[in-house]
Amino acid sequence: MTDTAPPVTSLHGKTALVTGGSRGIGKAACIMLAQAGAFVGINYRGSPETAAETLQAITRTGGSACLVPFDVSDPDDVEKGVTDLIAETKKIDILVNNAGITRDGLVGRMKEADWSEVLGVNLTGAFHLCRAVSKGMIRNRRGRIINISSTAGEAGNPGQANYSAAKAGLIGLTKSLARELAPRNILVNAVSPGIVEGGMSDRLTKDQLEAICAHVPLGRMGRPEDVASAVLFLCSDMADYITGQVIRVNGGLYM
């Protein structure tokens, strides 16, 4: 490496699409990828104000980004959103499937709609994005796909059968796509967070959070930036020989 070579974490010249980029892990990933030099497409569905805050946080520090509103569970909407972003940036090098929702409840009382909606956004939505974005990556013979799974998908959570099933499905999707796309130099990995500040943890009570943290060897919740750092690593040249893996960012909650 010469003295003039860019840092191995540099993403200059790359375009990244991050779903669910308006808050929490998605927002942190958008900001961190932009800081590394990527142009970031910030996807959101129903929160334009918070998505605009993510955009402002990026542009304030000299980064480049745009808003890409679409519903990941709608295949036609996904195709249009991806097509529009490619029309602006010419290509998508990085896809981060982060969009997710919860509809918690015990299986015996879970409504069909709650099951279908969670699977539709968290798992089928990622499939829609992978199908749409991988076409260009295959032509370019290069790309990175990072799916945000969860400890719930590895260990299970009572009252979250739908969410856990979807996040477990993302791991299976990751491994299958990693094998399928490796010949075209497209790396596919998953990041599996534990309990993280903001986002879905906001729905938990203080007592619930303290009870969970008592089981975390590091003794605290994760920060969105902790997860975003793993995403950045997997997008960087440092991860050129890593595919089909699940990177756990959970403070030791699940080993």
Backbone φ and ψ of 131, nearest 5°? -65, -45
pLDDT at 117: 98
Triad 32, 38, 40: Cα angle to 5°: 80
Q: How confident is the model at residue 3 (pLDDT cuts 50, 70, 90)?
A: low
Q: Which CATH number fits domain 15-249: 3.40.50.720, 3.40.50.970, 3.30.360.10, 3.40.50.150?
A: 3.40.50.720
Are 190 and 246 spatial neighbours (Cβ–Cβ below 8 Å)?
A: yes
4-46, pLDDT tens digit by residue? 565 568 999 999 999 999 999 999 999 999 999 999 999 999 8
> Considering the chain, what is the average pLDDT of its residues?
95
Residue type, 106: L
- Strand positions, DSSP E, the chain: 15-18, 39-44, 64-69, 94-97, 143-148, 186-193, 246-249
pLDDT at 4: 57
Are 101 and 126 spatial neighbours (Cβ–Cβ below 8 Å)?
A: no
Spell out the domain ranges in the chain: 15-249
Residue 240's alpha-carbon distances to 19, 189, 201, 234, 237, in angstroms, are 23, 11, 33, 8, 5
Going by C-alpha positions, the residue among 163, 131, 132, 135 that lies closest to residue 148 is: 163
115-141, pLDDT tens digit by residue? 999 999 999 999 999 999 999 999 999
163 among known catalytic residues = yes
Percent of the chain with pLDDT over 90: 89
Q: How confident is the model at residue 1 (pLDDT cuts 50, 70, 90)?
A: very low
82-98, pLDDT tens digit by residue? 999 999 999 999 999 99
Would the CA dihedral through 234, 42, 253, 117 be positive or negative?
Answer: negative
pLDDT at 6: 53
* Tokens of residue 242, six digits: 């890593």
Contacts of 135 (CB under 8 A, 6+ apart): none
Catalytic residue (choose from 44, 163, 241, 254): 163
pTM across the whole model: 0.95
DSSP annotation of 244: S
170-227, pLDDT tens digit by residue? 999 999 999 999 999 999 999 999 999 987 677 778 888 888 889 999 999 999 999 9
